[in-house]
Structure 1
Amino acid sequence: MSSSNTDHHPEEIEIIQHHPIIPQQNQQPPYHHDPIHHHHHELSSEHEHSMNHEDEEDESHRYYGGGMMMGIRLNNRSSELEKKPFLMMNIESSMPSDQTIISPLATIAPKVTQLSADSQNFFDKLEDKRVSMSPLDSLYDSKFGFIILNGAKYCMRIFGLFMVMVAVVLLSLNFYFYFTVTLPMMNTKMWTYTFHLLLGLYFVLSISFNYIQCVRVSPGVTPKDWVDSLDNVEAFRNDTKSVPGKNWSKWCGRCQQPKPIRAHHCHICDVCVLRMDHHCPWLNNCVGLQNHKYFVGFIGFLAFAALYNFGMISLGVFGFYTPDPILYATWSGWLTFVMVLSGSLGLTMTTFTGWHVYLVLTNQTTIEFQFNKMKSVRSKVSGSENPYNIGIKNNIQQVYGLAAPEDSIFSWIKLLLLPNLQKSPVDGVNYPTNQPKGGENV
């Protein structure tokens, strides 16, 4: 080979050093082996020089004619490189340096890390907002949502007043029908008549007392003195742990104040209700800590009275006793209607009563039951399925009040079956739990 084959220009040497991906001298091109080229390689040196020159032109067209450089082959003859200065410019301008390759990675890496951290913070805040605010709370942020929700709130209050009047009318008609038709139609002995009369009066008084108390008595709202006694009110904004195994917030997004445990905001009453069970349109009031026992008493006595009325009418209609012929003939059409109505109401109220008796015995509310049901698997594993279940007797007394003297039969009869004005022994802020280290304020 001539000396021109080994002499390199400085520019060529620099390119080879800075770009290790460029094939070195005498290295075979990365494309397929050409048999014709191999044959020409065995010819004389002059003929070889001519053929190599043609091959170089063809290769430069293959590597650089398409616009995307898939490989670079440098001619080991400086004379050939001098004939193609555009090739050297193309190589220098297109091949990135080590710093050019590493610099974007060094810039992107911290940005990716920061983006990951920002994403985690976003989802954490979204979860905090989800557990601290209900979907209705977020609607208050817009003017349209504020108008709609406030309009719905006042409509529900007016509807609640209407439902209370309907309930009073229906109860009054049932009481009237029992004392003027069902009871006289029995045509029985005096002592039997007296028994049914007194039993009917007991049902009427019990139903009326409990219903009036349900409507009149406040279920209990967040105590103002409790809020004022807190040292750091703002700390409650970020406190989402209220009950072990649950994510209830201690901050009310609607009232913008701390919320006691087991309390929930009612969007119709527009207050945080202590130990809230549900809002009842038939009462136009919420069922909570201080009136839950009246609600259970109302539906319980109503269920017994409806089934009792259904039984008395059914016995006369199906001939188990001889009804008064005049009353029976006068009210025969209504008797069937009242019998069906009483039976349906009795079955419905019995089911509803059984449900709330279960809640009282296990010291749960309807809202808490739903949370416990959704998280039952995780709660059972962690042992915190219902931290407020402290035994049947204690659970009953937490709703109905203390039985005094303790454990006497008469005290329990008076507590459960007679009008009871006792308040719950808990203050609605602190609750005893079954947790070994739970204390009273979980």
Structure 2
Amino acid sequence: MRTGGSWRCQLSRTMRLVLRWCRPHRAARRGGRCGGRVSQLWSYTKVMLKSLYYNSLTDSDTLFDCIFEPIYWIVDNITRWFGVVFVSLVVLLTSSVVIIIYLFVIPIILSTYPVILSCWHLGCGHWLLLMVVFHYYKATTTAAGHPPKEKVHMPAVSMCKRCITPKPARTHHCSICSTCVLKMDHHCPWLNNCVGHFNHRYFYSFCLYMTLGCVYCSISSWNLFVKAYDAVERYYQTPPPEFTSMDTTGHKCIIFLWVLTSSVAVALGGLTLWHTVLITRGETSVERHINKKESRRLRESGKIFRNPYHHGRLNNWKLLFGVEKRSHWLTRVLLPSAHLPKGDGIVWDCIFTRRDPMAI
């Protein structure tokens, strides 16, 4: 009751100030000085509005966050539901490419190519298909990793304002999943999942092998694409009697195959290249933006920024793929492997320890 009374007193005091200001200016209003009075009235109105929400812990940014919170909620939920659509689209397009290859491309390869070249195409194509399917399945079904909810002793660098729980190093909150994610990279709608500590390797391997598979299909089917395009063009100009609807369907499927794989190779190749650079630097997508701001801040004070999680280019790749000996490059990188990443995602090895660990 005391808080409500003080609030009413503050509001009534503000209203009395506004009314007191209005009385001596009634005559001036008749004189036509509208511009200055409107601006002054607006300033008093802002004071009155601030008196309703402002205190030492909030400001206008907090007010706008509260106003736009429903919009954020709608965007997050739409993205979450769109994730199901995007996953279905990936499965549908990948399945269509595989079906076209089995129905139209492989018969041409077996009937026209030499035996050694045919074995090469069959072996390479099925290896890429196996790697794409395995890593996509693991990336979508493996949880990225979350801080423990139980009250346990856990090293933390900050508190999450949404979860109201301690956040370990490299942990960030995902508004779409409504939880904190260990070593969060980003929320991927094509996986309908967050990319974090436990599925980062699966995500990158899927991007890499899908790009390689699309490049392989695009290059190896180039001659078939040219022949199919010429055949379809001649068919629509003057349909020859020797062409059947089955022939034109096969030609259209090959054209669709080449256009789709070439487009995905370009788009996904750019994303894969970007993540290759991040992994080489020992960063995630979120940390890239944070490190840029930190580097700018330290540069102004005459210091040099160093990423505490950058262990060297080769070592960063070994940490991502879990390579501990030479044979792991074959068993854990070039072949499907479900091994866990190094560490629990809560405690991280830093290359140095200082009072300001970001600067030297």
TM-score in terms of structure 2 length: 0.70
- CA gap of 1:308–1:139, structure 2 versus 1, over 3 A, is farther
Per the alignment, residue 371 of structure 1 pairs with 290
- Residues 151, 288 of structure 1: CA spacing in aligned structure 2 closer, same or farther, 3 A cutoff? same
* Matched position secondary structure for 1:382: coil
| Residue number in structure 2 paired with 1:382 | 303
Q: CA deviation at 1:156?
A: 2.4
Equivalence for 1:296? 204
Asked whether 1:262 is paired with 2:262, we answer no
Does 2:195 correspond to 1:287?
yes
SS of aligned partner of 1:209: helix
Shift in CA distance, 147/314, structure 1 to aligned 2, threshold 3 Å: same
**In 1, distance between residues paired with 2:336 and 2:190?**
21
The separation in 2 between residues aligned to 1:315 and 1:253, in whole angstroms, is 57
Higher relative contact order (CA 8 A, sep 6+): 2
Whole-Å Cα distance in 1 between the matches of residues 263 and 55 of structure 2? 49
Where does residue 12 of structure 2 map in the other structure?
none
Residue 200 in 1 paired to residue 108 in 2? no
Q: Residue 193 of structure 1: CA displacement?
A: 1.4
| 2:264 alignment counterpart | 345
- Mapping of residues 20-419 of structure 1, within 5 Å: 142=66, 145=68, 147-186=70-109, 187-225=112-150, 227-229=151-153, 242=157, 250-318=158-226, 330-379=249-298, 381-403=302-324, 406=325, 408=326, 410-419=327-336
Mapped to 2, the partners of 1:396 and 1:222 lie a distance apart of 24
Equivalent pair of 1:398/1:425 in contact (CA under 8 Å): yes
Q: For 1:170 and 1:139, locate their aligned partners in 2 and report how far apart those are by CA, in whole Å.
A: 44
CA contact (8 A) 1:397 1:424 kept: no
SS at match of 2:348: coil
Residue 352 of structure 2 corresponds to residue 431 of structure 1: no
Structure 1 segments unaligned to the other structure (5+ residues): 1-121, 237-241, 243-249
Query: What displacement does 1:199 show?
Result: 1.3
Distance 2:63 2:113 in 1: 63
- Quote the offset at 1:379 in angstroms: 4.1
Distance 2:94 2:196 in 1: 23
Deviation at 1:123, TM superposition (A): 12
CA deviation vs aligned residue, 1:87-129 (integer Å, no higher than 9, x gap): xxxxxxxxxxxxxxxxxxxxxxxxxxxxxxxxxxx99977xx9
2:354 aligned with 1:420: no
Q: CA separation of 1:289/1:123 partners in 2, compared to 1, >3 Å: closer, same or farther?
A: farther
Structure 2 residue identity aligned to 1:299: C
Conserved? CA contact 2:323–2:329, under 8 Å = no
CA contact (8 A) 2:225 2:258 kept: no
The whole-number CA distance in structure 2 between the counterparts of 1:279 and 1:148 is 18
Question: 1-side partners of 2:185 and 2:272: how far apart?
Answer: 14
**Paired residue secondary structure (1:180):** helix
Deviation at 1:369, TM superposition (A): 0.9
Larger radius of gyration: 1
Instruction: Tell me which amino acid in the other structure corresponds to 1:356.
Output: H
Q: Aligned partners of 1:208 and 1:390: how far apart in 2?
A: 31
C-alpha spacing 1:402/1:437, structure 2 compared with 1 (3 Å): farther
Return the offset for 1:366. Answer: 0.7
Contact conserved, 2:144 with 2:197, CA < 8 A, in 1? yes
The answer to whether the 8 Å contact 1:276/1:367 transfers is: yes
SS in structure 2 of the partner of residue 265 of structure 1: strand
Say whether the 8 Å CA contact 1:307–1:342 is kept in structure 2: yes
Deviation at 1:340, TM superposition (A): 2.1
What's the CA shift string for 1:296-316, capped at 9, x where partnerless?
Answer: 111111101111111122133
TM-score (norm 1): 0.58
Query: Cα distance, 1:255 vs. partner?
Result: 0.4
d(CA) in 1 for partners of 2:79, 2:298: 36
CA drift of 1:439 comes to 12
Q: Percent identity?
A: 29
C-alpha deviation, 1:415, in angstroms? 2.2
CA contact (8 A) 1:313 1:339 kept: yes
SS in 2 for 1:279: strand
Deviation at 1:437, TM superposition (A): 4.1
Q: SS of the residue aligned with 1:399? A: helix
Per-residue deviation, 1:386: 1.2
The Cα of 1:339 is off from its aligned counterpart by: 1.5
Compute the displacement of 1:350 (Å): 1.7
Single out whichever of 276-285 and 378-387 deviates more from structure 2. 378-387
1:154-193 CA-to-partner distances (Å, cap 9, x unmatched) read 3322221121111111111111112222222232122321
Alignment: residue pair count = 286
